[in-house]
Amino acid sequence: MRAILTAADAAIRWLCIAALAVAAVFIAFMAVIGTADVIGTSAFSTPVPSALELSEVALVIVVFTGLAAAQMKGSHITVDILSNRFTGWVKRLSDAAARLAAMAFFGTIAWFGAQEALHSWSINEMATGATPIPIYPGKTLLALGCAVATLEALRQLLHILTGTRP
């Protein structure tokens, strides 16, 4: 049983890092598109076609694929005025409740995001602009990013419940 949990732990950590890598690629993509659009508009009076739509889809991907890594590192904003004073089982209970809430939050977004992504794929949804830009990859990565964040919150919850270090 411990071997299965260790393997799952490593796999979920790998998924978080892979999702973060996707976010990094799309941050770079947004920087290139933005730079090209500014230079094209300023120097040549020709903006990048559909730069806004490309950036909108990329921003969704960056935000939602970065959630799992933020969860893994404990980088989400927390209000810990009271919980910093907790010790022992009360601290563990508070931490477990926070992970359950994160699982519910991310899981709900993943579930409804997946439904939206499937619908978007089925109708070949596009953003209207100078050049049609597909929206379904962004919706798909939104759902996948939240699913990975849900798994990371579950991984952390299991560590809290078993008293092991993540």
State residue 47's pLDDT score: 96
CA dist 15 and 126 (Å) reads 28
Tokens of residue 45, six digits: 């009076």
| In the predicted structure, residue 114 carries a pLDDT above the cut 90 | yes
Answer yes or no: pTM beyond 0.85. Answer: yes
Question: What is the tally of structural domains in the chain?
Answer: 1
Range of the domain at 80: 2-162
Local confidence band at 129 (pLDDT 50, 70, 90 cut-offs): confident
12-69 tens-digit pLDDT: 999 999 999 999 999 999 999 999 999 999 999 999 999 999 999 999 999 999 999 9
pLDDT > 80? residue 98: yes
β-strand partners of 133: 127
3-state secondary structure of 126: strand
